[in-house]
Amino acid sequence: MTDQKREFLRHTVATLAYRGSKAIRVSGEDFGAFNSGPSTRTPLQILAHIGDLLEWGLSIAKGEQIWRNSPGESWSKETARFHSCLEDFDNFLASDAELKAPTERLFQGPIADALTHVGQIAMLRRLAETPMHGENYYVAEITTGITGPDQPTPKQEFG
């Protein structure tokens, strides 16, 4: 029998991959260093933090809590790490391995926080004058298990 909560969490991870990919693609290495003010993180620092959140979430799902603060090496490396962490998390959720944490808590902690930070990156793109198009995410082709950088083309973007 399928665990519906676990499958919904997998769909949430795929949603994070889709939205995150859109926010970080075509922004370039220079964007990672964009600084909107003295008390804000750079996009690179935020993307590294998202990777930390995903690694932490996977460790919780496996029954431990391992946290690290990554400074972020480069935009391209953190972009690759983002997708790698999503894939690792999704692969674990897709497996028969015992989930050692409630799905609701995994969502409310690391996944919801990562979604918030993707929104911050999208906002910083506007401030850095490299805005991304808005989109009707309701009709987006988001598929459970698709966590890599090659996401479907948006179906309905707003200019």
- pTM value? 0.95
Q: How far is CA 103 from CA 9, 63, 65, 141, in A?
A: 7, 13, 15, 23
User: Per CATH, which fold does 4-158 belong to?
Assistant: Four Helix Bundle (Hemerythrin (Met), subunit A) (1.20.120)
Phi, psi of 142, rounded to the nearest 5 degrees: -100, 125
- Yes or no: say if 120 and 104 are a contact pair by the CB < 8 Å rule: no
Q: Where are the domains of the chain?
A: 4-158
Per-residue pLDDT for the chain (159 aa), expressed as one digit of tens each? 689 999 999 999 999 999 999 999 977 789 999 999 999 999 999 999 999 999 999 999 999 999 999 999 999 999 999 999 999 999 999 999 999 999 999 999 999 999 999 999 999 999 999 899 999 999 999 999 999 999 999 999 887
pLDDT in tens, 79-123: 999 999 999 999 999 999 999 999 999 999 999 999 999 999 999
- What pLDDT does 1 receive? 64
